[in-house]
Structure 1
């Protein structure tokens, strides 16, 4: 009943919005989400079903353990999340479209009821995303479409477990559960970097405690290696995006064809630098295995994630690794003006040392 009443509320919001494109988008979003919400069966039933493949059953058993751990040890607001399982016919649950002007790293922003404005738009249908992508390309925008393994409804709905989770290695599945549950704690509209960095910090620290409780503390090194690859890539991207932004500031004084050639040259050099950086990595980096094709859209999206992870991990330490106290501090931080928030996060990041 809770799920259906919320769907009706969303449908009411859609009828209040103007424009065929807007109505079409929200209609696909609501129908796709409703299909996801109503296609599941209890995790307990799937575990008890003798026809359930062993690998899936083992993952579902672990998910129940991780769910209890999240509530008890990490003080996460689990509610009724992950009690049901949905078998998807694809490795992603939605795809996100990102679009950025040809000479800008500031992505186009779509605004939504309740959620505020975001630098991406999610689609349950890849074909729908490609149609919207074509419209932006016709306007000269750089675009990027990426599959999303899972998303959070911020506690509005009882998010199900699905194939996107259970096809991952055990530690990655558990980490993703912690990440999505963290979004229920705090969410700031228009601040993707804050939201995602916080959730990633909870994911990392939660995974560390989970693996320790499972007698597998050594496996946490793999998570740290993934984080190190992200951090190295972030430093590389920051260098090149500084150069791109300086180039784009010349728009209007330098002919577009010359800007276009210089932009292509910088992006090619960035792709080559990423390839060199990844030579000694034990796994794929944030952009996947080389060779990669980069543009303003995927660079803009990448820059919004993970930048404040050290700050939130330091804030947890400052609260003696007490997750309830940590969440209280994060909520207080979220209420500050954006400039003060950024200052505080920068100061926290500067204090963080992985080995302390």
Structure 2
């Protein structure tokens, strides 16, 4: 009897091993990617140091110490006054030594505003792919371009690992203004509180909404509604909203243009129409009335015009703001903590 049991166990283990080997072979690229991401993230977590060490270091600039203190205040406010999840995130600092450490690749169809998506366990379909290695990001970008995709590669100001790792403060975050830094922290803390599988556009738009409203409330709480710190943030944010609204309107014009195209149109003809439309969108940026002085908004595209992947980013982060605003204002009487509580109960984390 014991012999038969042992044979059964051996066969079961061999069958299980075979299944594992088949799955690894079938998802080899995903396995390799996951290991690379884990290695990159662990390197950052391992080399991050407690914030207290930097605060006690006489060589660490006082201006940056003030930013670290601010982050702690933002965390406390976000947890106590907004109801965001309390995690161990942003209690350590990773020194980037002035270098970028992550690159995010996004892609869209060439004549349609439709993002390429990658499937990941737990997260589901995701319209971007991150790398801790610049060459690998560029390599993927070139592959996608050859396949006919519009590609964008950017450096994110921060990211959330959704509890898989302890997210540190990145040293380049400390270069931001107070309002912008507070917004980034609240945005990423929102992801660690509410994150819906297969709904990246919803997640990013919601985190943007909570980040914007939460930062306004934090700055008023800390400085007062008439303080220069609050007014500076409001002016900068209003300028960005004017800019992003313009790009969203531009994406709608592109969408309408693509719908007029048909299979009989040559690629060169469609490219000419697309390029002309994007040039018009960019040139009319300079008609915006902005409160902050600086170069013309169109000048940032002097060397390269934006593409579909770039316009998709505005949809991903800004297109649903009116929807959230209306629900927050009408159903929750502009009570952000109650709104966040409602959303976190409606959408259990992952």
The interval holding the TM-score normalised by the smaller chain is 0.7 to 0.9
Q: Indicate the residue corresponding to 1:128 in structure 2.
A: 136
**Per-residue displacement from partner, 1:105-137 (whole Å, max 9, x unpaired)?**
101111111111111111112211101111111
Deviates more, 1:149-158 or 1:229-238: 229-238
SS in structure 1 of the partner of residue 314 of structure 2: helix
Tell me the TM-score normalized by structure 2.
Answer: 0.82
Q: Indicate the residue corresponding to 1:257 in structure 2.
A: 268
Choose from 321, 324, 340 the match for 1:327.
340
Correspondence 1:52-131 to 2 at 5 A? 52-90=60-98, 92-131=100-139
**Per-residue displacement from partner, 1:145-201 (whole Å, max 9, x unpaired)?**
111010011233321112132221222212211111111221112222321222122
* Cα separation, partners in 2 of 1:328 and 1:211, compared to 1, 3 Å: closer
Distance of 2:217 and 2:343 partners within structure 1: 20
Contact 1:96–1:148 at 8 Å: present in 2 too?
yes
Tell me the TM-score normalized by structure 1.
Answer: 0.81
Q: Indicate the residue corresponding to 2:29 in structure 1.
A: 21
Deviates more, 1:162-171 or 1:145-154: 162-171
Q: Indicate the residue corresponding to 1:48 in structure 2.
A: 56
Distance of 1:314 and 1:91 partners within structure 2: 40
SS in structure 1 of the partner of residue 318 of structure 2: coil
Contact 2:162–2:191 at 8 Å: present in 1 too?
yes
Contact 2:91–2:169 at 8 Å: present in 1 too?
yes
* Cα separation, partners in 2 of 1:105 and 1:38, compared to 1, 3 Å: same
Contact 2:250–2:281 at 8 Å: present in 1 too?
yes
* Cα separation, partners in 2 of 1:312 and 1:333, compared to 1, 3 Å: farther
SS in structure 1 of the partner of residue 105 of structure 2: strand
Structure 2 residues without counterparts, runs of 5 or longer: 1-19
SS in structure 2 of the partner of residue 304 of structure 1: helix
Deviates more, 1:17-26 or 1:269-278: 17-26
Distance of 1:324 and 1:211 partners within structure 2: 16
Larger Rg: 2
Distance of 1:279 and 1:176 partners within structure 2: 22
Contact 1:230–1:286 at 8 Å: present in 2 too?
no
**Per-residue displacement from partner, 1:262-295 (whole Å, max 9, x unpaired)?**
1111111111112333676546899984536211
SS in structure 2 of the partner of residue 156 of structure 1: coil
Choose from 294, 305, 315 the match for 1:303.
315
Q: Indicate the residue corresponding to 1:293 in structure 2.
A: 305
Are 2:262 and 1:275 aligned? no
* Cα separation, partners in 2 of 1:213 and 1:93, compared to 1, 3 Å: farther
Distance of 1:23 and 1:17 partners within structure 2: 9
Q: Which has the higher contact order (CA 8 A, sep 6+)?
A: 2
Residues paired across the two proteins, number: 323
Q: Indicate the residue corresponding to 1:242 in structure 2.
A: 252
Deviates more, 1:64-73 or 1:274-283: 274-283
Distance of 2:91 and 2:34 partners within structure 1: 26
Structure 1 residues without counterparts, runs of 5 or longer: 1-11, 336-356
**How well do the aligned residues superpose, as a CA RMSD in angstroms?**
2.8
Distance of 2:290 and 2:238 partners within structure 1: 14
